[in-house]
Amino acid sequence: MPQSEPIDFWFSIGSMYTFLTVMRIDRVEDTSDIRFVWRPFSVRDIMIEMDNRPMSKPKKLAYMWRDLHRRAEMYGFAFEGEAPYPLKNFDLANRVALVGAREGWCADYVRATYRRWFVEHQECGAEPNLSDSLREIGEDPRRVIPLAESDEIARAYHGATEEARALGIFGAPTFVAHGEVFWGDDRLEDAVTWHQRGTLGAPRAP
């Protein structure tokens, strides 16, 4: 299976499990020839259509926080308590990521803003998280935030969400490898295997 094309990493800042992926995906790139294209979109719009909102399911939400703590500890970046959820400025956080995807600093911004959200309990898309995360990676909030709020980025954000919907994506994080869709942080390794082999079974004969 050819590996020249990257894996598309579809994510929404505001997705709790995406925290696990953004904090470890660079390890995959550092130890392999795999590259990821970061694709921000509005998973919230899709989940509302599906009536799949964790806040309406308290037992599920409690389980998710416990699961996040267990898995973050396993990966080596444990955090304490529960971060503010859901985000009030979900769309702005993701539209900033979209500006970053165009300009080449998306991954650094997303990691910075997630760390502040989970570790320091500062909401993404709101102050001080938003401006501090941009300054940390060398970007000027006075330039970036107006861009993120522009009609052009709003249209691009809507377009990305429509593209995700057309691919059958219904949650975040999701990975698309050679047209195959893998949903969930725990499917990152499966996506990598599929990208390398075209199968999750034994390697196919040449």
Q: List the one residue out of 133, 152, 131 whose CA is nearest residue 142.
A: 131
- What is the second-level CATH architecture of the domain 7-197? 3-Layer(aba) Sandwich (3.40)
pLDDT in tens, 44-96: 999 887 766 666 678 988 999 999 999 999 999 999 999 999 999 999 999 99
CA 182 to chain centre: 13
Helices (H), the chain: 18-22, 25-30, 43-49, 58-75, 90-103, 106-118, 129-136, 141-148, 151-166, 188-197
* Structure tokens, 162: 């429509």
Res. 205: pLDDT tops 90: no
Give the global pTM.
0.93
Question: 111 with 59: CB under 8 angstroms?
Answer: no
